[in-house]
Amino acid sequence: MKIICELNDSIVLGTDGLSDKAPRKTARAIVRTQDKLYAVMYSAKFHLYSLPGGGIEGDEDALAAVQREIYEETGCVCDCIEELGIVTENRASLDYTQINHYFIVKTSHAAQENHLTAAEKANRTEVQWHPLDEAIRLIKTQVFERIQQKYLQARDVAALDAYCALLRGKERI
């Protein structure tokens, strides 16, 4: 999978430093229905909009993880999955690293009940469905003070920018 963006404290916070922690690996997605609505996860506790996804577990690969995460968070079955790319995070200020594998997911199935984790429920997380321009606006226009939220936003913005560039490229064909 190609690298979309390599985030670090210099880019996100304007400060120097790198962490040497072993990375956590995740699978995330831009999920589109046949009605051209996009999944956005909203955490009411943190007032945070983000793309669905989460950690890769055990011996799971990124593809299996994204299918599981999308089903758990949105209640949707993935009909078509394409690789989008990787966004890496090196959060020196938090001594943390992460590798995010982003996919493009299309679903024609109606969303079923989701299966959120206890932490997601405690954060009052819900899935919302929006047209692409609104999903982008919700994620890009957030303003945060917490470092964690700044990174979550930066990685999703990088993935959305790559997705939009891909869409523009397909329009020219």
Q: What is the pLDDT of residues 121-159, one digit of tens each?
A: 888 899 999 999 999 999 999 999 999 999 999 999 999
* Cβ(27)–Cβ(66) below 8 Å: yes
Residue 95 main-chain phi, psi, to 5 deg: 45, 60
User: What is the CATH number assigned to the segment(s) 3-171?
Assistant: 3.90.79.10
Q: What is the pLDDT of residues 21-51, one digit of tens each?
A: 999 999 999 999 999 999 999 999 999 999 9
User: For residue 93, with 0-12 CB atoms within 10 Å meaning exposed, 13-18 middle and 19 or more buried, which class applies?
Assistant: middle
pLDDT exceeds cutoff 50 at 12? yes
The tokens for 58 are 């055990």
Integer angstrom CA distances of residue 41 from 5, 32, 62: 22, 13, 20
Q: How far apart are CA 165 and CA 95, in angstroms?
A: 32
Domain locations along the chain: 3-171
Q: What is the pLDDT of residues 78-105, one digit of tens each?
A: 999 999 999 999 999 999 999 999 999 9
Look at residue 170 in the predicted model and tell me its pLDDT: 76
